[in-house]
Chains A and B, each alone.
Chain A
């Protein structure tokens, strides 16, 4: 299973953090720091896999964002690259040509999309259309009179 998924910028600023295991706040901060240091110091044409403690770390850079996840030892790293790619595709479909700013200003939506794709560190849906439909339907539920009048609920 995936232990965590982190998104951070080239300057090391965290844009999204999803934890699939209960860890104390201090532990989480340490992991974030370790991951950003390790991944950002990697040279350009090296492989996307690392070893950290007893986890496999898989990371990929998309434009200005690094997507980094921690896996169990028996998980398939090559598939993890596909998982990260799938998530980027979902974001891209939803936001239309997604960029880092979209994720900064709409971080809660990035989480909602992720929660339709992964749960408990495992994939819950393999069909892109299915996920897109669920997120759209949930968004519809959120709409109120205010939203109709372009006044956001939050």
Chain B
């Protein structure tokens, strides 16, 4: 059998291949030869074959059949074999293969070899890819080598120990004694790896951290020597002595000084010295300065030092080198929260970086700019940011737009400025704006009451120019629907009012409906807007026509809306004006910003129930006994939190039931209506359901037992309803201590005439036996005159087959529940 071809021959041959297919063929042929050679257990050429295999592996071809051969090479006595064997192990094996465990014994032997380079190979392999099992087995050997006086081995053992600790943190203790004299070494390699080892231990264990704090003076001394010592050819990099070691020491000092006054004080001087004396003309000096700045910012340094650090970063920003500018921006972003004022001083430089050509720098500058915006600089900053939004790449536009909206919301100097800014964003980056900003903007516009005319006029003009940007179009159509009357009446104080007729407005909106550029959501917005204009404009016939046309639209959403609006014209025309009235100012609660506004909008809801829920009465306290008030009182704003039991779950028919049924104590969902003396139904709904259930704060009202007879116990727990303090929310808990369930359980309550009561649906009507569970039900009592609360309750249930009924008076309400 001829000798297998040499490695370099193979490489040369493969490189002559002109196509991928040709290369693959050569490789397959060679792999076959190698495989048969392995099968023959040829010792002489094993090394050569594995080397070739490694080359082919780098080209991307499978080489797993060589794994065992690597082990054989490691076990060989020849250094050449070992070298290639260990290299193969590091490239082809990892801890996922069981094979790698077979290496453990070989490595153990090699760690004790007489030749240091063999020991070095073993340490290197263990330190790069040793699995947890291997590390556990061999940690003792590594620890032994950590104490040797041979610096070549000592430095490798230190890094190997780092790897062992990363893999098996529990073994950290074992290396502690060996670390005693590490820092007294003169050899830079050992010093460097020792600092890495100490860093790793301090990062992982607070105990180690406190233990090693005593090393701070020693570290400071070493650093000082490095800086002050003259030229050392062995470690010099562009005039700086061993920058790698300097940076590592600075990093360890950072960890040791963090949160500790004494240590921080001990390193103050050296940090100032490094910060001022380091050469900044080359990258290496700046690398050290960068690490110094990071350390100063993290420890408890005195303010002078911190200002020095930020100024270094400011100087970095002016550096020609892009890398340094990038690093400065990243660091400033980290410190802007803590040292805001110092960073503000460099604002103009940061804003200039927005114009940089480098994408990474632009992004960092943008993030930092947003962090620096405050009430004082908002106008100037916004100008720069809007300019940036105009000219930046699409990948930035969404984030930039969102950032601008947030900043504008927080710091807008005037409503007009705010609206103008929004308009600018919508017109320049309209298609990149996030979906949730549309409802936010609508809410904002609604709340700027005096700007309505101006806003709708500007939006209308923007629509005339361009209807391709959907968020802009959606906001604009919503506004036109709401404030179209202001638009045609030509009343605008902020700017020159435009003359536009009703027909022109309707032309624009209808144009949106038919345009290919409009998405289905946008079409929905415009149809609803057209509908709303039926109460604001006089051209009813045109609107009726449009609405009826879309009654047969292919788009189901549009069709449903059109059909419902049609029904509104035909059958419920008397309700239309009230339903389509102007929106009230929307409250933005902290919990559910966009979601609830979308709901209130009524735009995305398409059931008839919800269109009717367009709140038509602004003040919940209005007392008109009108049927429509009933509807209006069922104000949807916050109540559409999903778990509120008062939300009517079904469609249109329910509402008509509501209209027909004036004794509304059971709430909209069908529950057995308790016979409660009702005085003013509209007030009931207005007063109670328009208050958000979720703003109830658990006031400190003690619970009480209202009823306890025959094994049935009913407890009342109280909450005060916020914002209306006249409403007490009582939750009843009914438990059953007998051995039989109480089924068909119904709880009814009545209150004196001066009160009003609302009973919500119970959790169930079975009270399980032996206190295994309870039935809960919520009662809301309105007590405007703050009289003492009294209640008569009636309980009916079936127990052991026979019906039971009982009446009781509840008089022992705690005073806090009604005061």
Contacts and interface: CB of A to CB of B under 8 A. Distances in A.
B287 A81 contact: yes
Contact of A119 (B51, B87, B159): B159
Interface string B217-250: 0000000000000000011010000111101000
Interface string B527-540: 00000000000000
Contacts of B51: 108, 154
B716 to A, nearest CB: 53
What secondary structure prevails in chain B residues at the interface with A?
helix
B115 interface: yes
B83 A122 contact: no
Interface in A67-87: 76-79, 81-83, 86
Interface string B138-175: 00000000000000100110011011001000000000
Contacts of A20: 128
Interface in A135-149: 137-138, 141-142, 144
- Secondary structure call for the A interface: mixed
Contacts of A17: 58, 91
A123 B163 CA distance: 13
B283 A82 contact: yes
A126 B192 contact: yes
A139 B94 CA distance: 27
Contacts of B91: 17
B60 A24 contact: no
B96 interface: yes
Interface in A119-134: 119-120, 122-130, 134
Contacts of B124: 115, 119
Interface in A59-116: 76-79, 81-83, 86, 104-105, 107-108, 111-112, 115
B159 A124 contact: yes
Contact of A107 (B58, B115, B324, B361): B58
B67 to A, nearest CB: 12
B192 A46 contact: no
B11 interface: yes
Contact of B324 (A14, A78, A134): A78
Contacts, number: 167
B129 A22 contact: yes
B58 A14 contact: yes
Interface residues of A, number: 52
Contact of A47 (B55, B234, B290, B322): B322
Instruction: Specify which of B6, B12, B117, B155 lies most central, judged by the most chain A CB atoms within 10 Å of its CB.
Output: B117
B327 A119 contact: no
A22 B235 contact: no
Interface string A33-56: 000000000000111111100000
B84 interface: yes
A29 interface: yes
A124 B151 CA distance: 11
B54 A108 contact: yes
Interface in B560-597: none
Interface string A1-34: 0000000000000111101101110000100000
B163 A120 contact: yes
B552 interface: no
Contacts of B159: 119-120, 122, 124
Nearest to B47: A154
Contact of B234 (A22, A24, A115, A129): A129
B129 A127 contact: no
B127 A23 contact: no
B193 interface: yes
Given A47-B358, A108-B54, A120 B162 contact: yes
A126 B242 contact: yes
Contacts of B327: 49, 77-78
Given A50-B360, A125-B189, A142-B79, A120 B127 contact: yes
Interface in B179-238: 188-189, 192-193, 196, 234-235, 237
A79 B48 contact: no
Nearest to B62: A25
B337 to A, nearest CB: 17
Nearest to B188: A126
Contacts of B163: 120
Contact of B287 (A79, A112, A120, A125): A79
A47 B162 contact: no
Contacts of B244: 79, 82-83, 123, 126
A86 B284 CA distance: 11
B128 A82 contact: no
B754 interface: no
A69 to B, nearest CB: 14
Contacts of B155: 124-125
B6 A154 contact: yes
Contacts of A141: 79, 115, 117
Contacts of A108: 51, 54, 83-84, 87
Given A17-B58, A22-B94, A130-B189, A142 B80 contact: yes
Given A76-B290, A153-B47, A24 B96 contact: yes
B284 A82 contact: yes
Contacts of A138: 79, 83, 117, 120
A128 B286 CA distance: 21
B237 A82 contact: yes
Contacts of A86: 237
Contacts of A76: 247, 251, 287, 290-291, 294
A78 B290 contact: yes
Interface in B5-41: 6-8, 11-12, 15
Nearest to A22: B94
B84 A119 contact: no
A100 to B, nearest CB: 12
Interface in B342-362: 357-361
B622 interface: no
B133 interface: no
B83 A49 contact: no
A23 B247 CA distance: 29
A22 B294 CA distance: 30
A3 B168 CA distance: 18
Contacts of B60: 14, 29
Contacts of A82: 237, 243-244, 283-284, 287
A48 B287 contact: no
B797 interface: no
A120 B159 CA distance: 7
B323 interface: yes
Contacts of B189: 124-127, 130
Given A22-B94, A47-B361, A78 B286 contact: yes
Contacts of B286: 78
Interface of A: 14-17, 19-20, 22-24, 29, 45-51, 76-79, 81-83, 86, 104-105, 107-108, 111-112, 115, 119-120, 122-130, 134, 137-138, 141-142, 144, 152-154
6 contacts: A48-B322, A104-B15, A120-B127, A124-B189, A125-B188, A129-B234
For the complex of A and B, 9 pairs with smallest distance between CB atoms = A78-B287, A154-B48, A47-B322, A125-B189, A141-B79, A79-B287, A120-B163, A119-B159, A22-B94
Given A77-B327, A112-B83, A141-B115, 14 more contacts: A17-B91, A23-B94, A29-B60, A47-B323, A47-B326, A49-B360, A78-B323, A81-B283, A82-B243, A105-B8, A120-B159, A124-B193, A126-B189, A126-B245
